Amino acid sequence: SQELEQSPQSLIVQEGKNLTINCTSSKTLYGLYWYKQKYGEGLIFLMMLQKGGEEKSHEKITAKLDEKKQQSSLHITASQPSHAGIYLCGAAGPNDYKLSFGAGTTVTVRA
């Protein structure tokens, strides 16, 4: 299985500030998924990247997969309280759909 390291483990940001979360793998990333989870709830799909250099945005959240396909970043612009939660990256292998997940990044947004 693929090991994914997320950084930072947690962060606290002032409302209105930007934040970035990284997801790093020692192996090539194929299907790379970003999910958000509120405490005690299920996972909400944010974005999926699969091509080196690919970048996707949805509302104030942008995710990128670097050219070498070994790291992805998730960037939130002008954070809001609704952005608080746990962000998880998951990676699929080259020939299957099994996802390996990072340990998650807990985001707290202070008003």
Partner 1 sequence: NAGVTQTPKFQVLKTGQSMTLQCAQDMNHEYMSWYRQDPGMGLRLIHYSVGAGITDQGEVPNGYNVSRSTTEDFPLRLLSAAPSQTSVYFCASSFAGTSGRGDYNEQFFGPGTRLTVL
Q: Which of 11, 48, 60, 73 binds partner 1 (CB under 8 A)?
A: 48
Q: Is 38 in the site for partner 1 (CB under 8 A)?
A: no
Q: Does 96 bind partner 1 (CB under 8 A)?
A: yes
Q: How far apart are CA 104 and CA 43, in angstroms?
A: 12
By CB under 8 A, is residue 61 in contact with partner 1?
no
Among 74, 76, 84, 92, binds partner 1 (CB under 8 A): 92
**Which residues, at least 6 apart from 89, have a Cβ–Cβ distance to it below 8 Å?**
4, 6, 21, 23, 32, 33, 34, 35, 72, 74, 101, 102
Residue 85 interacts with partner 1 (CB under 8 A): yes or no? no
Please state, in angstroms and rounded to a whole number, the distance separating the CA atoms of residues 52 and 42.
Answer: 29
Contact flag: residue 26 with partner 1 (CB under 8 A): no
* The one among 21, 102, 107, 109 contacting partner 1 by CB under 8 A: 102
